[in-house]
Structure 1
Amino acid sequence: MQTMRLTVLLAATITTGMMAGLFYAYSISVMPALRGADAAVLVEVMQRINRAITNGWFFLCFAGALVFSAAATVLYAIDGPAEVLLPTAIGLVLYAGQLVLTAGLHIPLNNALEAAGSADPAAARRAFEPRWVRWNHARTLLCTGSFVSLCGALAQV
């Protein structure tokens, strides 16, 4: 049982860390690079990114981080050291918060950008960029907090 708990916690930590890194990359490189681009370029690039990112590898980490974190929390709640349970549960809650933000804000903004096409890129950009960027920083922090908490749990094993 101990090996299974540790394996699941490690998988949760790795997948959460990968998601935190992805969101961080948008915050420090992708969106700052696009900030200086023409509106039509930003719209086209983000539409292409949003299409390309919907793949199995992304989904493995995006959903896997939640599944592995939930499984680790349950496994440590059933039969594990209490000092590992709390940071694991905190990691789960923070990651779930990131998912709520992504589902409630980022996905709708991405879908609206896709639907806007290229008819009025300046208007599409105004409706998309400020909110998407601001809240991407928030989900980066949530995801990074989750990763740090899960690392803390691993340190207690």
Structure 2
Amino acid sequence: MASLFLTLAVITTGLYAGFMLTFLLAVMPGLAALPDERFTAAMRRFNEKVPGPAFLLLFLGVIAFPAVGVFTELGEKRWPLVVVGLACAVVSHLVTIGGNIPLNKALAAAEGGDDSAARSAFEALWNGFHRFRTALSLAAFVLLAAAAH
């Protein structure tokens, strides 16, 4: 039987990975079809709204719950899965902090300027970081779900 913290880790990581996957598969392809002015305006609004309380709870829970779960699962055969799942989540967050957030800030700073240049500097690189962090988030979810089984 999984511990409470491992169960919470699976829930928060699953919700976070689902959010990331939805953005990858639905939101970004939809935005890609927009002209530069509308794309940059939409991304700026997303970047203002996404880091709200619910997102921050998931963002922090993806690390906190598996970290506590590591200690509650010590002595169990499944604790290595929890450790590797936590490692995937940490690297995903580092990609967000070191890659996506600086690009978001640069896009915000370019508001009122050349939208085509801002988009060119942002879109492909941001999507590359996002694909990587989404894959890591999904891996974390699978590993934690396997550990909880």
Query: Structure 1 length normalisation: TM-score?
Result: 0.91
Measure, in 2, the Cα distance between the counterparts of 1:54 and 1:143. 17
Which blocks of at least 5 consecutive residues in structure 1 are unaligned? none
Q: Deviations over 1:12-31 (max 9, x none)?
A: 11111111111111111111
Aligned with 2:3: secondary structure?
helix
1:97 aligns with 2:91: yes
Name the structure where helix makes up a greater proportion of residues: 1
Q: 2:43 aligns with which of 29, 42, 46?
A: 46
Alignment match, 2:54: 57
In the TM superposition, structure 1's runs of 4+ consecutive aligned residues that sit over 4 Å from their partners are: none
**Equivalence map 1:24-39=2 (5 Å):** 24-39=21-36
Which blocks of at least 5 consecutive residues in structure 2 are unaligned? none
1:117 aligns with 2:111: yes
1:132 aligns with 2:126: yes
Shift of 1:75: 2.0
Q: Deviations over 1:11-68 (max 9, x none)?
A: 1111111111111111111111111110111111011011111211100000111001
Question: 2:3·2:72 contact (CA, 8 Å) conserved in 1?
Answer: no
1:71 aligns with 2:71: no
Query: Structure 2 length normalisation: TM-score?
Result: 0.96
Aligned with 1:134: secondary structure?
helix
Matched residue type, 2:132? A
Q: Deviations over 1:98-148 (max 9, x none)?
A: 011001100000111111113110011001000111121111110000000
Measure, in 1, the Cα distance between the counterparts of 2:6 and 2:50. 25
Measure, in 2, the Cα distance between the counterparts of 1:54 and 1:26. 14
Q: Percent identity?
A: 33
Question: 1:101·1:139 contact (CA, 8 Å) conserved in 2?
Answer: yes
Measure, in 2, the Cα distance between the counterparts of 1:92 and 1:118. 40
Question: 2:3·2:73 contact (CA, 8 Å) conserved in 1?
Answer: no
140-149 or 20-29, larger mean C-alpha shift: 20-29
1:146 aligns with 2:140: yes
Shift of 1:84: 1.6
RMSD: 1.2
